[in-house]
Structure 1
């Protein structure tokens, strides 16, 4: 202890005191740096554990996880759908049932969807101003819905038979039979109507 407090050597005592002060300062700096490094590692490890354990630092979702992929083709409408009705004959003898072909055509450059089921597709028969028959008055339940995906320029055809009876909404029975004469028929799908087709019953 006396040697430390009373440095001995050929040089003046002040030289030895300065060397000891510098050495102690270096030791103190190294100690501070070491403690700071240890504390920094501990904080980083704690933050990593907290984020990985589902705490208050969740990772942001990637764009693919939040992207909306539920959109599909739009519904066919007046601007994209053409409806035509064609009778299988121009004139029908007594007892012959007219058969109409309903054709749906996508006139756009992209696909669209349409319900062509019997609950959404109507064939209406008129005689002048007299409403004779509608396929919606008494529709079949097994084909009530038929969703179609029509590609650009795509077509769908379905046949509708009229058994030469009169109908009313609610499927009323016992109505008088239509008489021989000239009739018109139109088809309606998705708010789009065909032009009227004329035919004759004998």
Structure 2
């Protein structure tokens, strides 16, 4: 029989309804399989996500045993803080000196110069003593032979001093105006002196000698000379 020929006992409409029913059944089966696959993968993904989240929440055992360090900022490290300067003690200004007061050593300059460096026999050495006031006002000072002492030595030997065996008035107070020097000439008789003023004075031997003038807080340069 020709397959395209319908059987006489089955109508055409019944034939197409059977075919539509079969097609619908196939579609239903495909839909069920697809739904089963999606439902299976969904819970598994959720479980994996939950597992990874749980791993993140669990603390690392190595980190748990490490000590915790807390950093506290130092108060001195603040950039806005500035050191407080210590108060300085103010020194009182020195009182201005009045004219006629006693001279002080910073106000005076003392010097001595020899009139020669070599003295033949019988020639006495001569020296010029100078004292100058370099202060702002006039002052007074003692220029007597004991206060302003001339001493002559030879090595460690103290040969002569102007303060030995001084008789009479020993003080000699002078007014020193600013810049005007006090000048005195000293002549040495080439004899030794000492504390015993009754002993005979012995003549100094030929040799090299040093003369220096002293005053309270002052000392001149050395004047070196030679006796023949």
TM-score by length of 1: 0.60
CA displacement 1:135-165 (0-9 Å, x = unmatched): 10122425x2221111111211011111001
Alignment partner, residue 14 of structure 2: none
Alignment partner, residue 103 of structure 1: 130
Alignment partner, residue 31 of structure 1: none
Note closer, same or farther for the CA distance 1:118–1:91 as it changes in structure 2 (3 Å cut).
same
Shift of 1:125: 0.1
Structure 2 residue matching 1:79: 3-state secondary structure? helix
Match of 1:117 among 125, 128, 144: 144
Structure 2 residue matching 1:132: 3-state secondary structure? strand
User: For 1:33-182, what aligned pairs fall within 5 Å after superposition?
Assistant: 73-141=100-168, 144-182=170-208
Tell whether 2:222 aligns with 1:196. yes
Aligned length in residues: 131
Note closer, same or farther for the CA distance 1:86–1:185 as it changes in structure 2 (3 Å cut).
same
Larger Rg: 2
User: How many angstroms apart in 2 are the aligned matches of 1:177 and 1:133?
Assistant: 11
User: How many angstroms apart in 2 are the aligned matches of 1:83 and 1:120?
Assistant: 12
CA displacement 1:87-143 (0-9 Å, x = unmatched): 11111001111111110011222211111122322110000111000010122425x
TM-score by length of 2: 0.53
Shift of 1:191: 3.5
**Structure 1 gaps, min length 5:** 1-70
User: How many angstroms apart in 1 are the aligned matches of 2:102 and 2:156?
Assistant: 32
Structure 2 residue matching 1:123: 3-state secondary structure? strand
User: How many angstroms apart in 1 are the aligned matches of 2:133 and 2:205?
Assistant: 37
Contact 1:109 1:153 in 2 (8 A): no
Alignment partner, residue 183 of structure 1: 209
Contact 2:99 2:137 in 1 (8 A): no
Contact 1:85 1:187 in 2 (8 A): yes
User: How many angstroms apart in 2 are the aligned matches of 1:140 and 1:121?
Assistant: 15
Shift of 1:175: 4.6
Kindly report structure 1 stretches of 4+ aligned residues shifted beyond 4 Å.
none
User: How many angstroms apart in 2 are the aligned matches of 1:85 and 1:169?
Assistant: 24
Structure 2 residue matching 1:154: 3-state secondary structure? coil
User: How many angstroms apart in 2 are the aligned matches of 1:176 and 1:136?
Assistant: 17
User: How many angstroms apart in 2 are the aligned matches of 1:127 and 1:120?
Assistant: 22
